[in-house]
């Protein structure tokens, strides 16, 4: 048996483990490869026995928040091989790496009871709870008529600076343990080349030449994942969050998607209400943990 750094040849096996442990997520070898951008300083490991990869884990710089030297970690052990000390070996190796790179803090998330217990045992504090919800698209309401003066444009059709300006206007509303940030445009725009991102179903609502709402979707086989839904502060109270999400989900449904997943902070009452109204139902409780180093 061996714990070692991963190679590109390991990506298919790593994606299988991600899917086995987190079945609601859309994880492919291509999407894992796309995460390995130099600025993210991704450190990935695998546990191999007799030529078979049984677990994957690692850490990366959290580029979505403004806190300096903030990292995140992940440890995923195939269910048939849990409770054998593999997670502990990963944690020790990850801790050594975090000390070496001078990390100031590290975060982790889990949907499993044993993951909650492991996080607390290894010094993490529970900071937030999130709700992962599931929707059968067969029961999705049809998209109503758009308000006068409002048009729909897909990510494939727009000037991406419209989406960028929307994210700048709404980033402070994203719940989290640390303030979120939007990187410079030249770096931010690369996220739209991520293999899972559905550029046809991901849309903006546009009025008077500016974006007033958006809904992003990732796509994998017949599943979609809501990556981000937002309404411009000046346009709230008009039902545009629900409308944007309906447009995006109905586009995905028309192209063959059957199931949708989304994630919300448990305190985000407005977005939870939108999702419940669309028919989403609780699927997993996800807990966020943080450890200062």
pLDDT, tens digit only, all 293 positions of the chain = 689 999 999 999 999 999 999 999 999 999 999 888 778 899 999 999 999 999 999 999 998 898 999 999 999 999 999 989 999 999 999 999 999 999 999 999 999 999 999 999 999 999 999 999 999 999 999 999 999 999 999 999 989 999 999 999 999 888 888 889 998 999 899 888 889 999 999 999 999 999 999 999 999 989 999 989 999 999 999 999 999 999 999 999 999 999 999 999 999 998 999 999 999 999 999 999 999 99
Same domain, 165 and 212: yes
Cα distances from 192 to residues 33, 93, 198, 220, 251, in angstroms, run 15, 33, 9, 15, 18
Same domain? 148 vs 271: yes
Q: What is the pLDDT of residue 1?
A: 65
- 3-class state of residue 272 by DSSP: helix
Give residue for tokens 């801790």: 95
If asked whether residues 61 and 174 sit together in one domain, one would say no
> Residue 2, SS3?
strand
Residue at a domain's end among 123, 154, 187: 123
Are 155 and 248 in a shared domain? Answer: yes
Q: Give kind and range of the element (H or E) at residue 257.
A: none
- What pLDDT score was predicted for residue 210? 94
79 and 156 within one domain: no
Quick one: 270 and 167 in the same domain?
A: yes
Looking at the structure, tell me whether residues 260 and 145 fall in a common domain. Answer: yes
Do 75 and 151 reside in the same domain of the chain? no
Decide if 207 is inside a domain: yes
Q: pLDDT value at position 104?
A: 97
| Structural domain contains residue 293 | no
Q: Are residues 114 and 169 in the same domain?
A: no
* Residue 175: predicted pLDDT: 85
The answer on 280 and 162 residing in a single domain is yes
Domain contains 130: no
Structural domain of 78:
2-123
Phi, psi (rounded to 5 degrees) for 236: -80, 160
Residue 52's pLDDT is what?
95
| Cα-only R_g, the chain | 20
Beta bridge partners of 43: 59
Residue 292 within any structural domain of the chain: no
**Could you say which DSSP state residue 39 is in?**
G
**The pLDDT of residue 87:** 96
- Quick one: 254 exposed, middle or buried, by C-beta within 10 A (0-12, 13-18, 19+)? exposed
| 101 and 233, same domain (yes or no) | no
């Amino acid at each position: 048996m061996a714990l070692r750094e991963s190679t590109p040849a390991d990506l298919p096996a790593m994606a299988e483990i991600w899917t086995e442990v987190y079945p609601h997520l859309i994880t492919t070898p291509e999407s894992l490869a796309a995460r390995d951008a130099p600025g993210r300083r991704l450190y990935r490991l695998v546990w191999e026995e007799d030529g078979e990869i049984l677990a994957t884990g690692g850490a990366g710089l959290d580029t979505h928040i403004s806190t300096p030297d903030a990292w995140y970690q992940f440890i995923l052990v195939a269910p048939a091989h849990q409770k054998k000390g593999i997670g502990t070996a990963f944690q020790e190796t990850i801790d050594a790496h975090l000390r070496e790179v001078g990390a100031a803090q590290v975060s982790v998330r889990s949907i499993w009871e044993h993951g909650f217990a492991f996080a607390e045992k290894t010094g993490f504090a529970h900071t937030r709870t999130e709700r992962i919800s599931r929707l059968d698209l067969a029961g999705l309401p049809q998209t109503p008529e758009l308000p006068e003066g409002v048009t729909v444009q897909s990510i494939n059709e727009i000037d991406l600076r419209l989406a960028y300006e929307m994210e700048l206007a709404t980033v402070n509303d994203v719940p989290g343990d640390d303030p979120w940030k939007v990187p410079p445009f030249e770096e931010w725009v690369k996220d739209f080349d991520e293999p899972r991102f559905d550029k046809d179903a991901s849309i903006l609502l546009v009025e008077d030449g500016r974006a007033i709402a958006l809904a992003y979707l990732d796509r994998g086989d017949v599943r979609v994942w809501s990556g981000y839904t937002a309404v411009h502060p000046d346009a709230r109270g008009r039902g545009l969050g629900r409308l944007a999400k309906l447009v995006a989900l109905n586009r995905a449904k028309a192209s063959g998607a059957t199931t949708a997943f989304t994630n919300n902070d448990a305190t985000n009452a407005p977005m939870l209400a939108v999702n419940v109204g669309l028919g989403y139902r609780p699927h997993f409780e996800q807990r966020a943990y943080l450890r200062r180093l």
